């Protein structure tokens, strides 16, 4: 793409520092390489922080559900599990069967939620949300099909 001196009507400003971009490609977004690197590093930092925060919340949720299962509990009120530190808004998978009942998973631990009650807390040997494996049509029909999960 050819470089050109930007006209007054083409005024563009650096996405990092806000300085006016005086020359370069028409789609130029930064005044210099330093600003470009800073912008992308900050963008990656935000993504990394968000991912770390979600991982921390999911790990805490998983730990709480594991403790409940170990204690033989399969039912708990939402307020009680929240008091333990569970973040009800952070799950690894969910399925809304109806407006009143939904199924959720935190990795391999599943539970159902209805109103203010969490019930049927259980471990799933094949947790939902795993990548779906399509059957291989080149295999003989009597050969066992690999573990296939159908997501509705």
Which residues would be at the binding site for Zn ion (CB under 5 A)?
14, 16-17, 19, 31, 35
Pairwise CA distance, residues 65 & 71, whole Å: 10
Residue closer to Zn ion by CB (options 3, 13) is 13
Pairwise CA distance, residues 53 & 75, whole Å: 27
Pairwise CA distance, residues 134 & 18, whole Å: 49
Distances from the Cα of 138 to the Cα of 11, 28, 99, 135, 143, angstroms: 59, 50, 42, 9, 10
Residue closer to Zn ion by CB (options 38, 124) is 38
What is the smallest separation between the CB atom of 31 and Zn ion, expressed in angstroms? Answer: 4
Q: Tell me whether strands 76-77 and 12-13 are parallel, antiparallel or unpaired.
A: unpaired
Residue closer to Zn ion by CB (options 16, 61) is 16
What is the smallest separation between the CB atom of 3 and Zn ion, expressed in angstroms? Answer: 17
What is the smallest separation between the CB atom of 4 and Zn ion, expressed in angstroms? Answer: 19
Residue closer to Zn ion by CB (options 30, 111) is 30
What is the smallest separation between the CB atom of 50 and Zn ion, expressed in angstroms? Answer: 25
Which ranges of the chain would DSSP assign to H, the alpha helix? 33-70, 78-83
């Amino acid at each position: 793409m050819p470089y050109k001196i930007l006209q007054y009507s083409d005024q563009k400003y650096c996405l990092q520092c806000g300085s006016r971009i005086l020359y370069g490609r028409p789609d130029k977004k930064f005044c210099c390489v330093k600003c470009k690197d800073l912008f992308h590093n900050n963008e990656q930092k935000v993504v990394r922080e968000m991912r770390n925060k979600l991982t921390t919340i999911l790990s805490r949720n998983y730990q709480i559900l594991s403790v409940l299962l170990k204690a033989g509990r399969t039912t708990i009120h939402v307020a009680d599990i929240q008091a333990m530190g569970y973040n009800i808004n952070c799950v690894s998978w969910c399925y809304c069967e109806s407006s009143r009942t939904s199924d959720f998973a935190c990795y391999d631990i599943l539970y159902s939620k209805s109103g203010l009650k969490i019930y049927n807390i259980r471990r799933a040997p094949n947790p939902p949300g795993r990548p779906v494996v399509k059957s291989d049509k080149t295999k003989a029909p009597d050969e066992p099909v690999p573990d296939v999960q159908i997501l509705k």
